[in-house]
Amino acid sequence: MQTDTREAATGFASFDLDSRLAKGIAAAGFQEPRPIQTQALPAALVGRDVLGLAQTGTGKTAAFAIPAIERLLEGDKPGPRVLVVAPTRELAAQISAEFESLARFTHLRVATVFGGVPVNRQRKALARKPQILVACPGRLLDLMGQGLVRLDRIEVLVLDEADHMFDMGFLPDIRRILAALPAERQNLLFSATMPKEIRALAEQVLDGPLVADVAHTERLATIEHALYPVAGTGKLALLKHILGEGQLDSAIVFTRTKHRARRLAGQLERSGYRAVALQGNMSQGQRERAMDGFRERRFDVLVATDIAARGIDVQQVSHVVNFDMPQTTDAYTHRIGRTGRSERNGKAYTLVTADDHGLVAQVERRLEMSIPRREVDGIESVSFPRAAVQSSGNQPSRRRGAGRAGARRRRRARAR
């Protein structure tokens, strides 16, 4: 039979999954597990807690969705039995879509709850007794307060994009949700970075977790980083130069504020670019139109703030341009995580002014490489300190392997 051959051919066969789930994985076009999945699945499938560290776009969703679905298929009990908490509506919607895709050959139902839309539709979805609930913290607490959702049957808790939960101020909400869950449960926590607040949360929530860590090893090599020292007034001209050169598939341009995102998108549009803003002052509908338009290639340039672009999975982003230097090294890592997927080469270009050199030095230490400085003819450069890290060109330094492994061991030790 055709399907049997295909199932047997996938690298997921070794996990011995329920055939309905295996069929869903094959139908989604997944042939080989991604590194985060290879590391996380064996532990998660036997019910162990997992701490998963990996950048955006590395396949974290399936790393928790597959073991969650497998568990739900093992016995038919009333739910919801799986709760996924995610920081933004866009992420919650993406996660639900992935669950629905992987579980398409099963009877499992997914409900998605997030704010900014009327409660009614979500109330109906809850009334259909979903086994899987994907939620943003605020709306979930609202619904809990109204007695519209029960969490006493949750067997698996997933906290996705935990670092964003923290920097969006959701940790108190998370703690209230945790208090409403049965103590006996499996916990899967995923994050791209590991600030100390998330380490503390992980220690509190996870019990003897397997640490799946591909945060620093994946995909960095396929990204070309560069710095463009420039006076603030020259940024727009420089950006247009960058967007005009080479093969621009599509670009995400990051600004420091919502206002700057809106203004810059307008300026690019007036210069003939198919550009659109994505920032937190836009309505839910406007944000969806911007994202859909960018995904469907009606826009080539998405001008976004960090918060608005959290975790968004857009295939084939060729350029990430930091119009403004991100404010932390973690933010730099997150932003460039949008490009350089799989075999494609991504470009991560940062426009820097004289004030940015402290953060640039931190980023270079984190990446353990020097980022090349570039100038563009006709656009005035500003003086900018040389790299703090001595390594040649854009190659990771030789120390990198040892340093990473050491950092990982330390992190792992702390996570226990």
Residue 218 touches which of Mg ion, ligand ADP, none (Cβ within 5-8 Å per kind): none
**Burial group, residue 392, by CB count within 10 angstroms (0-12, 13-18, 19+):** exposed
| Cβ distance to ligand ADP smaller for residue 71 or 334 | 334
Whole-angstrom distance between the N-terminal and C-terminal Cα of the chain?
46
For 317, phi and psi rounded to 5 degrees? -90, 115
* Closest CB 122 distance from ligand ADP, rounded Å: 22
Q: Is 223 helix (H, G, I), strand (E, B) or coil?
A: strand
**What is the rounded CA–CA span in Å between residue 39 and residue 45?**
11
The site string for ligand ADP over 10-39 (x = CB under 6 A, - otherwise) reads: --------------------x-xxx--x--
DSSP notation for 181-194: S-SS-EEEEEESS-
Site mask for ligand ADP (CB under 6 A), range 50-89, x = bound = ----x-xxxxxxx---------------------------
Residue 103 exposed, middle or buried by CB count within 10 Å (0-12, 13-18, 19+): buried
Rounded to an integer, what is the distance from CA 51 to the centroid of its chain? 15
Q: Which residues contact 390 (CB under 8 A, 6 or more apart)?
A: 370, 397
Q: Which residue is nearest to Mg ion (CB)?
A: 60
- CA 232-380-373 angle, to 5 degrees, is 85
Give the nearer residue to ligand ADP in terms of CB position, either 48 or 334: 334
Residue 82's identity, in one-letter code, is V
User: For the packed helices 137-145 and 171-179, what is the interaxial angle rounded to 10 degrees?
Assistant: 40
Per partner kind, with CB cut-offs from 5 to 8 A, the member of Mg ion, ligand ADP, none near residue 340 is none
CB of 192 to ligand ADP, least distance (A): 8
From 54-62, 113-121, 141-149, 170-178, give the range in contact with Mg ion by CB under 5 A: 54-62
User: What is the CA 262 to chain-centroid distance, rounded?
Assistant: 23
Q: What angle do CA 323, 56, 301 make, to 5 degrees?
A: 35
Give the residue with the Cβ less far from Mg ion, 22 or 312: 312
**Chosen residue from 155, 306, 313, 368 binding ligand ADP by CB under 6 A:** 313
Give the one residue of 23, 60, 216, 287 binding Mg ion; rule: CB under 5 A: 60
* Cis, peptide link before residue 229, omega less than 30° from 0: no
Where do we find the tokens 């640039």?
Answer: 360
Shortest separation between residue 194's beta carbon and Mg ion, angstroms: 16
Smallest distance from the beta carbon of 33 to ligand ADP, in angstroms? 5
Minimum CB separation from ligand ADP for residue 306, in Å?
Answer: 15
Binding-site partner at residue 213 among ligand ADP, Mg ion, none, CB < 5 to 8 Å by type: none
Task: Based on the shown chain and the rule CB under 5 A, indicate whether residue 34 belongs to the binding site for Mg ion.
Answer: no
Shortest Cβ distance from residue 31 to ligand ADP (Å)? 6
Q: How far is the CB of 25 from ligand ADP (least distance, A)?
A: 8
Which residues of this protein are in contact with Mg ion, per CB under 5 A?
60
Which residues of this protein are in contact with ligand ADP, per CB under 6 A?
30, 32-34, 37, 54, 56-62, 98, 311, 313
